[in-house]
């Protein structure tokens, strides 16, 4: 499976995808929430920066472009400043926007989020302000949309309908688009709007509702595999679909086809923000299915991509490179935890592409004790990836004397690798780790507080590029040397 996922995701090509739906502008206003207003019991937000991102169907298109596809947009936006910004962002993403039609009598759908920055770092959404019109489109605009759809359909490989119920994908227009796609032998993927009636999606190829949306349609709550199976079977049958993909949050997704019904699991995540996760799933399914992928593999890859997206803030894109990194990471990396310096650098490059903070420490770690465990737990709290530079046997002898180490370097590496707090280990021969530190270039360098007066090796180098040096408090009376001396004393008395 591991090799198949890698082979598939690195051979997606650049299929042309027609993205039809409600194109939106997501606005993020970040500010420091320092105090409560004297006018009302609300926080005062001192604006620090403002970001604009593609939302709704625009998010799907941007995700497709990031994955290497060639998305073509078809939708309706307003004649306003937000439409200008949205066009700019989509163009920057590499998306064809020739199918975005302007309607002077309605605004571009926008969602403005005010984000408080606690301690200048931790983001907390305070309020969302929506500007939109969900009124039905005029007959003239509907005909223009349908005409553009018929013109673009023969040029694309697959169609995505992203429905937020903002007036574009009416029952009649949606049904006609699906019928025309079927006649043209094009798959149609639907991310449905929250509704109790999905009849306008009859005849689509795939539908991707989440747990809540599916429950509203089928009339019962999805709480386990059995109820998910029942809901998927109902949707498959009633809507005459080829496949149903019900997304189930941390449980993954339930896939139902004519011949298959199964849970496709996903890895547990530290969910930062679920905004845009459904867009990412739809985009990944579209590019993988357009590339000829089978449904189960497509859902596996969409789970991975959606999982990466929810660890980011707001609507965000995911690249093929990030998916490859995640697949490799889920399967234990390319060589476990123990790496030579050059191999370690390659692994850390992969972690940094995922914006992980690299922490480095070093030592002999001979005869592991509680002090080591507490120390490495402290290292873990300083960042995302902990690298241990481990003194080789010859290096330990140089430092500690000819009777050390008690355990050889391979044994010590295996013991460290068994700890959850340690991600990578690299053995070095020199008496000090400076050369290894220069290769690793850690974001955080950790040493025990006993190095405060001796001077931390590598401090000047790490601080030269903005890294931090942190001193850890040590557990009093715990050291390998004292443990070994106690063992010798007990042996002498026996």
User: pLDDT tens for residues 371-395?
Assistant: 899 999 999 999 999 999 999 999 9
pLDDT digits (tens, 9 = 90+) for 154-185: 999 999 999 999 989 999 999 999 999 999 99
Do residues 279 and 387 both lie within one domain?
A: no
Q: Which structure tokens are listed for 163?
A: 């429905």
Do residues 76 and 153 both lie within one domain?
A: yes
* Residue pair 459/445 in contact by the 8 Å Cβ criterion: yes
Do residues 325 and 180 both lie within one domain?
A: yes
Among 295, 330, 365, give the residue marking a domain's end: 330
**Domain annotation covers residue 253:** yes
| pLDDT band at residue 457 under the 50/70/90 scheme | very high
Sheet with 96-103, strands from edge to edge, namely: 96-103, 70-78, 16-21, 158-162, 187-191, 206-207, 243-247, 253-257, 261-264
Do residues 161 and 221 both lie within one domain?
A: yes
* CA–CA gap between residue 243 and residue 215 (Å, rounded): 17
* CA–CA gap between residue 396 and residue 428 (Å, rounded): 10
Q: Which structure tokens are listed for 443?
A: 């974001």
| pLDDT band at residue 269 under the 50/70/90 scheme | low
pLDDT at res. 121: 55
pLDDT at res. 488: 53
Do residues 351 and 310 both lie within one domain?
A: no
**φ and ψ at 202, to 5 degrees?**
-55, 130
pLDDT at res. 370: 85
pLDDT at res. 326: 80
**Domain annotation covers residue 44:** no
Mean pLDDT across the stretch 69-93? 96
**φ and ψ at 189, to 5 degrees?**
-105, 135
**Domain annotation covers residue 155:** yes
Split into its structural domains, the chain has a count of 2
Do residues 286 and 235 both lie within one domain?
A: yes
Return the CATH number at 272: 3.40.1190.20
Among 307, 330, 353, give the residue marking a domain's end: 330
pLDDT at res. 4: 86
pLDDT at res. 477: 56
Place of tokens 């020739």: 98
Q: How far is CA 227 from the centre of its chain?
A: 28
Residues linked to residue 44 through DSSP beta bridges, in sequence order: 35
**Domain annotation covers residue 120:** no
Do residues 75 and 223 both lie within one domain?
A: yes
Q: Is 347 exposed, middle or buried (0-12, 13-18, 19+ CB in 10 A)?
A: buried
Q: Which structure tokens are listed for 132?
A: 């939109």
**Domain annotation covers residue 358:** yes
Q: Is the pLDDT of residue 492 over 70?
A: no
279 is catalytic: yes
* CA–CA gap between residue 366 and residue 409 (Å, rounded): 9
pLDDT at res. 380: 94
Q: How far is CA 452 from the centre of its chain?
A: 39
Sheet with 385-391, strands from edge to edge, namely: 424-428, 385-391, 358-363, 444-448, 468-472
**Domain annotation covers residue 115:** no
Do residues 398 and 423 both lie within one domain?
A: yes
Q: Which of 190-199, 221-230, 332-341, 365-374 has the lowest mean pLDDT?
A: 332-341
The most confident of the ranges 181-185, 368-372, 479-483 is: 181-185
Q: Which of 153-167, 218-232, 244-258, 338-352 has the lowest mean pLDDT?
A: 338-352
pLDDT at res. 490: 53
Do residues 306 and 404 both lie within one domain?
A: no
* Residue pair 287/327 in contact by the 8 Å Cβ criterion: no
Catalytic residue among 279, 325, 366, 423: 279
Mean pLDDT across the stretch 53-60? 95
Does the pTM surpass 0.85? The reply is no
**Domain annotation covers residue 43:** no
Mean pLDDT across the stretch 350-360? 87
Do residues 367 and 313 both lie within one domain?
A: no
- What range defines the domain where residue 392 resides? 341-493
Q: Is the pLDDT of residue 335 over 70?
A: no
pLDDT digits (tens, 9 = 90+) for 25-44: 999 998 887 788 899 988 88
**Domain annotation covers residue 95:** yes
| pLDDT, mean over the chain | 89
Nearest to 438 by CA among 469, 468, 461, 405: 461
| pLDDT band at residue 295 under the 50/70/90 scheme | very high
Return the CATH number at 473: 3.40.50.620
* CA–CA gap between residue 440 and residue 254 (Å, rounded): 41
Among 330, 360, 380, give the residue marking a domain's end: 330
**Pairing state between β 253-257 and 243-247:** antiparallel
| pLDDT band at residue 201 under the 50/70/90 scheme | very high
Do residues 365 and 312 both lie within one domain?
A: no
Do residues 184 and 209 both lie within one domain?
A: yes
Q: Which of 242-256, 258-272, 450-464 has the lowest mean pLDDT?
A: 258-272
């Amino acid at each position: 499976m591991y090799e198949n996922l890698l082979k598939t995701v690195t051979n997606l090509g650049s299929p042309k995808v027609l993205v039809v739906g409600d194109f939106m502008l997501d606005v993020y206003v970040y500010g420091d929430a320092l105090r409560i207003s004297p006018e009302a019991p609300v926080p005062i937000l001192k604006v620090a920066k403002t970001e604009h991102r593609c939302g709704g169907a625009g998010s799907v298109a941007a995700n497709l472009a990031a994955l290497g596809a060639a998305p073509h947009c078809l939708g309706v936006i307003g004649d306003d400043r937000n439409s200008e910004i949205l066009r700019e962002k989509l163009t920057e993403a590499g998306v064809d926007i020739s199918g975005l039609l302007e309607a002077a009598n309605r605004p571009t759908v926008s969602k403005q989020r005010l984000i408080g920055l606690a301690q200048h770092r931790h983001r907390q959404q305070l309020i969302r302000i929506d500007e939109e019109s969900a009124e039905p489109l005029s007959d003239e605009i509907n005909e223009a949309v349908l005409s553009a759809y018929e013109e673009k359909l023969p040029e694309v490989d697959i169609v995505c309908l992203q429905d937020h119920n903002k007036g574009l994908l009416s029952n009649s227009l949606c049904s006609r688009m699906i019928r025309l796609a079927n006649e043209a032998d094009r798959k149609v993927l639907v991310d449905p709007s929250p509704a109790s009636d999905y009849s306008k999606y009859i005849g689509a190829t795939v539908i991707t509702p989440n747990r809540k949306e599916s429950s509203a349609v089928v009339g019962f709550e999805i709480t386990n595999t059995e109820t998910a199976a029942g809901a998927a079977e109902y949707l498959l049958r009633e809507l005459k679909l080829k496949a149903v993909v019900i997304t189930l949050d941390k449980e993954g997704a339930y896939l139902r086809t004519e011949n298959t019904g199964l849970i496709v699991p996903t890895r547990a995540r530290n969910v930062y923000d679920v905004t845009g996760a459904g867009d990412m799933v739809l985009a990944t399914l579209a590019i993988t299915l357009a590339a000829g992928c089978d449904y189960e593999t497509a859902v596996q890859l969409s789970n991975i991509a959606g999982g990466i997206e929810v660890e980011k803030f707001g609507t965000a894109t995911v690249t093929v490179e990030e998916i490859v990194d995640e697949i490799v990471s889920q399967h234990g990396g390319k060589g476990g935890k123990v790496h030579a310096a050059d191999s370690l650098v390659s692994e850390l490059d992969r972690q940094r592409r995922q914006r992980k903070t690299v922490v480095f420490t070093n030592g002999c770690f001979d005869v592991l004790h509680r002090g080591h465990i507490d120390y490495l737990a402290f290292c873990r709290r300083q960042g995302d990836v902990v690298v241990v530079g481990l003194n080789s046997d010859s290096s330990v002898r140089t430092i500690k004397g000819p009777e050390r180490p008690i355990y050889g370097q391979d044994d010590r590496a295996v013991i460290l690798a068994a700890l959850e707090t340690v991600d990578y280990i690299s053995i070095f021969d020199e008496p000090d780790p400076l050369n290894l530190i220069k290769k690793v270039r850690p974001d955080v360098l950790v040493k025990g507080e006993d190095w405060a007066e001796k001077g931390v090796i590598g401090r000047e180098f790490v601080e030269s590029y903005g890294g931090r040096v942190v001193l850890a408090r040590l557990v009093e009376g715990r050291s390998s040397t004292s443990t070994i001396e106690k063992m010798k004393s007990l042996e002498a008395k026996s």
